[in-house]
Amino acid sequence: MNESPSLRWVRPTPSAPLAPRASVRTQITLEALLAGRHAVGEREYVDVVDLFCGCGGFSEGARRAGHRVVLGVDSDATALAVHCANHPQAAHRQLELPHGELAALLPREGTRYHCHASPPCTKLSVGGGTNRSAPDRRTGMVLVAWFLDLVATLPCTSWSMEQVVQEDVLDELRERRRARPDRYDFEVVLMSQYGVPQDRKRVIAGTPWLISRLRDRAEPLLVRRVIDALPKPPPGSVGIKGRRTTVGREQCKSWAKAFQLPKNVIPREMRMKRGGLRRPAPTVIAGAPHRWCDAGGNTTRCLTIPEHAILQTFGSAYRLSCPYGEALRLVGNAIPPLFVEHLLAGYRVPEWVSERV
């Protein structure tokens, strides 16, 4: 039987060595980068207003990006105290938003500033348990709609909002983007694509040119793993799991509809994150700590607050001077500072916007 020509192995011929043009390419690349930077202008820095600031996730990311946090507002005294300890240069007000005093606290007209808000998502999140009825969802949307109305009238240079990926929120944002494409835009983001070592999924709304640049900064192939963020797991630990126990039938009767599906009632050993230490961790949440687990899914120990803070990209040095449960709640509710760095990195207002500001 004759051998097919397509199956014959042919020794590859060595390619000719490339000419030594690396230095030339480097020079051309540098010249192109400098020309591009000159075309778009120098990087700009703005003041930052953080509404529903919590313990300071957005403020910390803005500070790392070089911006100045001037105001933090929250109704939670514990969260505001932590924010004040880490951002003492900012003004702090404990207010239940919306509040009539807010207008007097905002920067003066003519000041370039960025306004951010992370309205409470307890009434909207799937993890909210029984808070999934229509009245609760409408209550949760009140603050979202209030902030979206507010930024339509504020003279801020740019704005942003973080919220859970929920249909009521997405429908509201779609309607506003359709009516005011010059003011509203949004994107559903996987924060693992922005260097955050966890499977956190959120909708980010904001100024259209800011959201457009955010889309360009996603890096799907540069996902950080648990082992990258926490290189020294406890002995015998092969992964991180989220919730403490398997969701039982009685719990499903009173919990959210999402937990009533049979596929969510799974054995303990399957609740460990697939991929173990070599994938992002489960989403850090406020209600329950993450746990190191062995190959059988058994708990090795709970993660410490510094470990939770590292997964949320605060870093272990961020001051969280409050009890374990309170610190876990504050860290779990925060937006990861590293993601905020990507959002505000290379902040430059387009020329067509600058002419109107």
Instruction: Give the sheet arrangement for strand 239-241, strand by strand.
Output: 239-241, 291-293, 299-302
Element (H, E) at 162: strand 158-163
113, 100, 94: which is closest to 154 by C-alpha?
Answer: 113
Q: Which amino acid is at 310?
A: I
Domains in the chain: boundaries:
47-223+336-352, 226-318
- If one counts every other C-beta atom within 10 angstroms of the C-beta of residue 125, the result is 20
Written as tens digits, the pLDDT of the chain (357 aa) is 555 555 555 565 665 555 554 445 555 565 665 555 444 456 789 999 999 999 999 999 999 999 999 999 999 999 999 999 999 999 999 999 999 999 999 999 889 999 999 998 776 665 544 445 677 778 888 999 999 999 999 999 999 999 999 888 999 999 999 999 999 999 999 999 999 999 999 999 999 999 999 999 999 888 999 999 999 999 999 989 876 444 444 444 454 455 455 555 555 444 544 557 889 999 999 888 999 988 888 889 999 999 999 999 998 889 998 999 999 999 999 999 999 999 998 899 887 665 554
DSSP state string for 7-61: G---PPPPPPPPPS-HHHHHHHHHHHHHHHHHHH------EEEEET-TTTHHHHH
Domain 47-223+336-352 has CATH 3.40.50.150: yes
What pTM value is reported for the model? Answer: 0.80
Please, what is the end-to-end C-alpha distance for the chain in angstroms?
80
- Residue entry with tokens 């932590």: 82
